[in-house]
């Protein structure tokens, strides 16, 4: 670890959404010069960054030209043109995490193969080329219901995932290269965020429990610490540490797990970037996930992940019946609740289920935090002045 002068470093982020916004706030604290690439010139971090480039991060030359301006490049999204990143690495730009890791993670099939090859627990799976390939296997009897189909590439927030329970769901089968997994009888979904720096130092955050909104198929709220046994906690954290080490990865890795009804742990998927399940660390841990990623990419010692207090995080989703200029109802009532920390991402237009912000509730007692979260769910609505359905 040499001498690091953050004041003279240029750091680039692809893209400029809410995760970048929270990263930039910490980067600014350390006087880093920040660069953002995003197709939307009204993205969440546009007003905060020192330099903004409007452009498509799926385009090789755009990624390359953006990256040439900075010393260090990292990302908050996965769907980036990897060839552009690889060219930058060849020309001496520090792209962290390494584009080879991003390339593997972009493909859910390659992820699953990686887990299997290194004996990490994950639901059994097969590859399929297209819909007709799946139908053929069902007809032959080699594929039985229920199963979970996932597009190998391009899915997010549950798009690209189809749960097929019976013949009645056949129309929901996606016609794209996919992995088909055994359906796990899920008792809980948890997440572990782990970081590793160049020296090989590894730190993971206390485990988070995800609670889903079945209608939106998005995380409704999450709670930390997760209500799981000490053995399950140890197992999940051990797997996270082994995984980031096995990938020889520098950066931040979020790993989603299932715990099944028998109590066994399976890896679902991973993301090599800050994650929705780590927002609360801003207020509830000594080091936030955003600071930890910056520490890792800057080749700094990692920070302590110790919890300062339990926390619940709720996503502020656009009301299903509203679309248009955004309005936050009852914000002042939420602000009056002790330990409620409101984050608005700055998206000017709300749409049904759009992620508009989040609230983290810290309380020394997790049950109190959950009760406050319920109250905030009732109070805070993301609507539009114009109610055009």
Residues that bind ligand ATP (CB under 6 A): 123, 148, 150, 155-158, 160-161, 181, 183-184, 186, 189, 256, 268-269
Residue 157 binds: one of ligand ATP, Mg ion, none (C-beta under 5 to 8 A by kind): ligand ATP
State in angstroms the smallest separation of the CB of 141 from Mg ion. 30
Q: Whose Cβ is closer to ligand ATP: residue 232's or residue 268's?
A: 268
Q: Whose Cβ is closer to ligand ATP: residue 34's or residue 162's?
A: 162
Q: Whose Cβ is closer to ligand ATP: residue 158's or residue 263's?
A: 158
Residue 148 binds: one of Mg ion, ligand ATP, none (C-beta under 5 to 8 A by kind): ligand ATP
State in angstroms the smallest separation of the CB of 207 from ligand ATP. 15
3-class SS letters over the chain:
CCCCCHHHCEEEEECCCHHHHHHHHHHHHCCCEEEEEECCCCCCCCCCCCEEEECCCCCHHHHHHHHCCCCEEEECCCCCCHHHHHHHHHCCCEECCCHHHHHHHHCHHHHHHHHHHCCCCECCEEEECCHHHHHHHHHHCCCCCCEEEEECCCCECCECEEEECCHHHHHHCCCCCEEEEECCCEEEEEEEEEEECCCCCEEECCCEEEEEECCCCEEEEEEECCCCCHHHHHHHHHHHHHHHHHCCCCEEEEEEEEEECCCCEEEEEEECCCCHHHCCHHHHECCCHHHHHHHHHCCCCCCCCCECCCEEEEEEEECCCCEEEEEEECHHHHHCCCCEEEEECCCCEECCCCEEEEEEEECCCHHHHHHHHHHHHHHCEEEECCECC
State in angstroms the smallest separation of the CB of 185 from ligand ATP. 8
Residue 186 binds: one of Mg ion, ligand ATP, none (C-beta under 5 to 8 A by kind): ligand ATP
Residues within the interface to Mg ion (CB under 5 A): 256
Residue 155 binds: one of Mg ion, ligand ATP, none (C-beta under 5 to 8 A by kind): ligand ATP
Q: Whose Cβ is closer to ligand ATP: residue 199's or residue 217's?
A: 217
Q: Whose Cβ is closer to ligand ATP: residue 47's or residue 158's?
A: 158
Q: Whose Cβ is closer to ligand ATP: residue 68's or residue 165's?
A: 165
State in angstroms the smallest separation of the CB of 136 from ligand ATP. 21
State in angstroms the smallest separation of the CB of 109 from ligand ATP. 12
State in angstroms the smallest separation of the CB of 117 from Mg ion. 21
């Amino acid at each position: 670890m040499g001498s690091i002068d953050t004041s003279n470093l240029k750091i680039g982020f692809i893209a400029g959404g809410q995760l970048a916004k929270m990263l930039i706030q910490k980067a600014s604290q350390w006087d880093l010069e920040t660069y953002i690439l995003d197709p939307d010139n009204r993205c969440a971090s546009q007003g905060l960054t020192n330099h903004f480039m409007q452009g498509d991060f799926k385009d090789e030359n755009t990624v390359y030209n953006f990256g040439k301006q900075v010393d260090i490049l990292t990302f908050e999204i996965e769907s980036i043109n990897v060839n552009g990143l690889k060219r930058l690495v060849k020309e001496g730009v520090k792209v962290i995490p390494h584009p080879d890791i991003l390339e593997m993670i972009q493909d859910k099939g390659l992820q699953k193969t990686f887990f299997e090859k290194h004996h990490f627990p994950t639901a059994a799976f097969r590859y399929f080329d297209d819909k007709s390939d799946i139908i053929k296997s069902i007809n032959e009897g080699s594929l039985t219901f229920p199963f979970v189909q996932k597009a190998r590439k391009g899915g997010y927030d549950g798009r690209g995932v189809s749960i097929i329970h019976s013949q009645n769901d056949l129309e929901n089968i996606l016609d794209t290269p996919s992995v088909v997994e055994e359906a796990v009888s899920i008792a809980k979904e948890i997440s572990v965020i782990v970081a590793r720096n160049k020296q090989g130092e590894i730190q993971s955050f206390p485990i988070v429990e995800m609670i889903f909104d079945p209608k939106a198929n998005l995380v409704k709220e999450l709670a930390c610490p997760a209500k799981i046994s000490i053995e399950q906690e140890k197992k999940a954290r051990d797997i996270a540490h082994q995984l980031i080490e096995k990938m020889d990865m520098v950066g931040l890795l979020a790993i989603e797990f299932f715990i099944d009804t028998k109590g066994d742990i399976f890896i679902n998927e991973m993301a090599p970037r800050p994650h929705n399940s780590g927002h609360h660390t801003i207020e509830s841990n000594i080091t936030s996930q955003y600071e930890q990623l910056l520490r890792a990419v800057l080749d700094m010692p990692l920070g302590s992940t110790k919890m300062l207090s339990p926390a619940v995080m709720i996503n502020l989703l656009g009301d299903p019946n509203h679309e248009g200029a955004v309005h936050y109802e009852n914000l002042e009532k939420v602000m009056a609740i002790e330990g409620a920390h409101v984050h608005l991402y700055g998206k000017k237009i709300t749409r049904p289920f759009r992620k508009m912000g989040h609230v983290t509730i810290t309380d020394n007692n997790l049950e109190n935090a959950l009760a406050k979260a319920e109250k905030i769910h009732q109070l805070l609505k993301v609507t539009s002045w114009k109610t055009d359905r």
